[in-house]
Copies of this chain bind each other. A is one copy, B any other.
Amino acid sequence: MTPPGGPPLRQLGENQLVARFRDLAGPHLSGGVVVGPGDDAAVLRAPGGRLLLLTCDMMVEDIHFRRAWAAPEQIGWKAMAQNLSDIAAMGGEPAAAVASLSAPGDLPSDFLDRIAQGLISAASEYGASLVGGDLVGSPGPIAVDVAVIGWVEQDHLLLRRGARPGDAILVTGSLGASATGLALLEQGLADDPSPEAVQALHAHRQPVPRLAEARAIAASRLATAMMDLSDGLADDLPRLCAESGVGARVFARRLPIHPACLALASRLGKDSLALAITGGEDYQLLFTCPPDAVDAVAAVVSSAAGTSVTVIGDITGERGVSFLDPDGRVIEPGAGFDHFAPKTNR
């Protein structure tokens, strides 16, 4: 057998790996596939006029979570919630999930039960059932992979593609809470009793998929594109723009930064704006709509879920995503918190 070559995986970014995967899988998609790899979930034709959604997401110990940093129930909850968020991002309703777990043989069985309880709690909370799974021994870290199916009405489906120049860019809720929670954990501040720290830690450990908000946005038929913010605005907005063949301007001062992020960032040696732009795992919805639809869509989301939505910028015809400071100067969010490097002093 020829040994496989090519650059090691760590040299390829996630976008590049997704592109390779699309190139490989694309030519083999059957006629029943409406949307294949590359969106938050795949979309399949189904009998009876609704579309079927399918997505998966894996969490690996010491990459996505640490045993010391979250209760097993929270690990399970988060593994399920991030998948439910992908269903939400398509405008859909989750129906059922399966979960595969790999774990070392010396793991106490209660740990696994509690992961399962977290998976089940999150699924039940949002109307889905955990219907099956696989458990395998592993010499390595715990890994939890969840696949979720959901349904969406054909005319409610929202994709990453569809944003048009001039559209407003909106987010639900606020940004940066999860990244603040992660920073607290990284700095050994998990026991900080302040309400802001408790909020941030909870946001990181037990994120909320925005299903009611997404369903309201989808049912309004006012949005042109949508995705969830799992990797952070700086990574995710360019993906939405690339799929839509457009660019974007984001006005930093409009970003709805989470109060806990604002309160704690400087104590953590972080910039609250950096946390809000580059921090992942907020699972808020990022979507676009024509400017004259903003008030109407804000009203339906508020009415359905009590959640605010905020216009953070607009879609441009010119490619490229810019983050602009209050003086209109371009700032450069890096790939991670520590690489966030404003081009100008602020």
- Chain A interface (Cβ within 8 Å of chain B)? 1, 3-12, 14, 17-18, 20-21, 24-25, 28-30, 32-33, 35-38, 41-42, 44, 46-50, 52, 54-60, 62-64, 71-72, 95-96, 98-114, 116-117, 120, 123-124, 127-141, 143, 145, 147, 149
Contact = CB atoms under 8 A, between A and B. Distances in A.
Given A9-B106, A10-B137, 12 more contacts: A4-B114, A6-B108, A17-B109, A24-B117, A29-B131, A37-B131, A46-B46, A56-B99, A60-B140, A100-B147, A138-B143, A139-B140
Nearest to A30: B129
A184 to B, nearest CB: 15
B25 A131 contact: yes
18 contacts: A7-B109, A8-B106, A8-B109, A9-B108, A20-B113, A21-B133, A28-B124, A29-B131, A33-B129, A44-B95, A58-B134, A58-B143, A60-B140, A102-B143, A134-B145, A140-B141, A143-B145, A149-B149
Assembly stoichiometry (copies): 2
Given A9-B106, A95-B44, A109-B12, A24 B120 contact: yes
B136 A44 contact: no
Contact of A131 (B33, B72, B112, B136): B33
A36 B130 CA distance: 8
Nearest to A104: B9
Given A60-B137, A96-B54, A145-B56, A47 B47 contact: yes
A39 to B, nearest CB: 8
Most chain B beta carbons < 10 A, residue from A25, A103, A108, A117: A25
Nearest to A120: B28
Nearest to A70: B1
Contacts of A124: 28
